[in-house]
Amino acid sequence: LRKIHHVGIVVRNLEEAYGFYRDTLGLPLNKIATIEDQGVKAALLPVGESEIELLEPITSDSGVAKFLERKGGGLHHICFETDNIETELQGAKDKQIRLIDQTPRNGLAGSIAFLHPQACCSVLVEYAQPIDESEHASLLSQGRSRGFTAKRLDHVVIAVNDLEAAVATYQNNFGLEREEPKDVPALGLRNTFMPIGDAKIEMVTPLGDKSPIGQFIEKKGEGMYLLSLDVDYLDGAIQAFAE
């Protein structure tokens, strides 16, 4: 697994979502397509070596539509890029990881396959083998005149009840290394980072019942909590959000 290819976010309306991700963050639109078999209209927006995928349901019975109805949208899945999806999928089968897709299929990111959330600490995980990166590379070189630039995906935060068990699961499933865990009392959490490509996965667990992480888990269960973008000028980003 080479890097985080993208983070999927479910939205009610792509055009409205563009107002933030494209117009405020200044991310270029790489690709947009309707994927009938998944019941979605999707768009990919590059940020550094990774991308953000926006997903709008177009049918009421799709998994994305049910996610939107149940959770009101938000972080939906994380996708790891591989240069050999067949090998990675077979490796998952050999480890007896529960799968959604037994064989790869075509998707917006290329050849894709999903692992079951129950195998990944309630996180839907996708593998993707891109078909052609030339278009993506050209988009990364495009610049905009603005107060700040979102340079890359810095990390994705996953909230869990048992930090060590979750770390062990991701080490087993994906072969990721981990950094030393530490307590962050000011945020009411204990965390550890697991690097992949130029980004990281941050595992967090609450230190107490009043921790925001603890309240999130109590309300929504374990899973993806937030994503962090690296920007070149934080004050400029804050000003853009305020405006």
pLDDT of amino acid 131: 78
pLDDT of amino acid 142: 46
Our CA dihedral for 164, 169, 170, 172, rounded to 10 degrees, sits at 120
pLDDT of amino acid 139: 42
pLDDT of amino acid 100: 96
pLDDT of amino acid 144: 43
What SS3 state is found at 55? strand
Does pTM top 0.75 for this prediction? yes
Strand ordering across the sheet containing 105-107:
31-35, 40-47, 50-57, 3-10, 74-81, 124-129, 110-115, 105-107
Q: What is the pLDDT along the chain (243 residues), one digit of tens a residue?
A: 999 999 999 999 999 999 999 999 999 998 899 988 889 999 999 999 999 999 999 999 999 999 999 999 999 999 999 999 999 999 999 999 999 999 999 888 899 999 999 999 999 999 999 976 554 444 444 444 457 899 999 999 999 999 999 999 999 999 999 999 999 999 999 999 999 999 999 999 999 878 999 999 999 999 999 999 999 989 889 888 888
* Separation between Cα atoms, residue 147 and residue 229, nearest integer Å: 15
pLDDT of amino acid 38: 87
pLDDT of amino acid 240: 87
Half-sphere exposure for 170 (CA within 13 Å, toward CB) = 27
pLDDT of amino acid 137: 44
Phi-psi sector, 175: left (phi>0), alpha (psi -120 to 50), beta:
left
pLDDT of amino acid 37: 84
